[in-house]
Amino acid sequence: MAIHLNEGEKILKTTYPHFLAMLHLYLIWLYLGAVGGACIMFRGEIVQWIHEWPQGQSIEAIIYLTLWSLVIVIPAVVVTVFQINWRWLFLSLNLCAAGVAAHCYQDTVYQVLRDTVSSYATTRHAWQFVSDYLPIRPQAQEMHNYLLIAVSLMGLFASNSYRRSHRYYITNHRIVTRFGFLAKRERDLLYGKVDDLIVHQSLLGRIFNFGTIIPISASGIGTGSDQAFVAVHGGMQMASGPKISVEVGGGKSVTVPRAPSFYSLYGVSNPAVLKEVIIHEMEQREHGYTRRKKESEGKKE
């Protein structure tokens, strides 16, 4: 949906994040699909390897599901720590719980799925083709892996929709950033309110010519902080009397340019060109303000 333009306002540039700007999202979902596909393709080798463990044959299902869950959870923990986003950990735990349930009740899940698909005449032949001709046939024991593949495909579609739901408009009056994936968020920033303009390009961004432009306003929107804190605690119990404790602490905070993807021009193509357009409009506003100020002072004299 286009933005509402004021009188005399026109759109100079319209853009949204580059495909590679959100590569990390696509890689996460591709990883889940790859885990599911690899477990299906190499199921025999995995089971044979588990049988070589002590008591491996008797507790094969437990070992297999434990390893399967760890392959999903451990990368999610790493992503959670680096992105400071707990949603990935919660997602992995829910996937593991759903996968274990699908494995434990695999026959029931398989029959319900088969009956559901077979009830549609348009897909009946497709199901029969998959069952008879494809090398990877739908088997009840692989329901948890098919779940991973299905979630992976849905995640890829959702990630692409999320990326394209960002819209950035550069007009001759302001910068408009809009995000409308699930809830609509919009930021209007007049050029006269922009104090600084930060451009960040990663190595991948420099190769494929995309980067993030963060307009910093006088109110501080567009900045964050990196904090480091060290604390030392020690204590000693006297032979008689109270316990003596000593605490030493120290901290350091550094203000850095940082803003959510819907408050900055995140991962846009040709950031240098967009920066030039914005700076030009900022200069126009500044020159206009200076001219009006001189005219006002001249009239007073």
Pick out the chain residues at pLDDT < 70.
1-2, 107, 109-140, 219-260, 288-301
> What does the pLDDT look like over 139-170, one tens digit per residue?
667 888 988 999 999 999 999 999 989 999 99
Residue type, 48: Q
| Token pair recorded at residue 122 | 């348009």
The whole-number pLDDT of residue 236 equals 55
Q: Are 157 and 181 in contact (CB under 8 A)?
A: no
**CB under 8 Å to 194, separation ≥6 — which residues?**
175, 215, 216, 217, 278, 282
| Token pair recorded at residue 140 | 């009840």
- Between the CA of residue 166 and those of 47, 71, 180, what are the distances in Å? 45, 32, 7
Residue 113: helix, strand or coil by DSSP? helix
Residue 144, Cα to own-chain centre: how many angstroms? Answer: 24
- Between the CA of residue 161 and those of 80, 88, 109, 127, 300, what are the distances in Å? 22, 18, 30, 28, 57
Distance (Å, whole) CA 284 – CA 174: 12
The whole-number pLDDT of residue 144 equals 87
Distance (Å, whole) CA 30 – CA 141: 22
The whole-number pLDDT of residue 254 equals 44
The whole-number pLDDT of residue 221 equals 55
pTM value is 0.74
| Token pair recorded at residue 220 | 């501080």
> What does the pLDDT look like over 276-296, one tens digit per residue?
999 988 888 777 666 666 666
Residue 211, Cα to own-chain centre: how many angstroms? Answer: 16
Q: How many CB atoms lie within 10 A of CB 98?
A: 15
The whole-number pLDDT of residue 228 equals 47
Distance (Å, whole) CA 75 – CA 122: 39
- Between the CA of residue 278 and those of 65, 171, 213, what are the distances in Å? 54, 9, 10
Distance (Å, whole) CA 214 – CA 257: 7
**CB under 8 Å to 44, separation ≥6 — which residues?**
none
| Token pair recorded at residue 83 | 């992105």
Q: What angle do CA 160, 161, 164 make, to 5 degrees?
A: 85
